[in-house]
Amino acid sequence: MAYIRHKLEILVDIDNPITEINGVIDAYLRLHPGQEYEILTQLQRDITAGIAHYEKLKGGGNDEQRGIIGSTTATNACGNES
pLDDT at 82: 44
- Count of domains for the chain: 1
Classify residue 72: in a domain, yes or no.
Answer: yes
Interacting residues of 54 by C-beta distance below 8 A, sequence separation 6+ = 60, 78
Residue-number span of the structural domain to which 69 is assigned: 46-82
Classify residue 52: in a domain, yes or no.
Answer: yes
Classify residue 22: in a domain, yes or no.
Answer: no
d(CA 73, CA 19): 28
- DSSP symbol at 81: B
Tens digit of each residue's pLDDT (9 = 90 or more) over 7-61: 889 999 999 999 999 999 999 999 999 999 999 999 999 999 999 999 999 986 5
Classify residue 6: in a domain, yes or no.
Answer: no
Classify residue 32: in a domain, yes or no.
Answer: no
d(CA 1, CA 17): 40
Interacting residues of 10 by C-beta distance below 8 A, sequence separation 6+ = 23, 24, 27
pLDDT at 19: 97
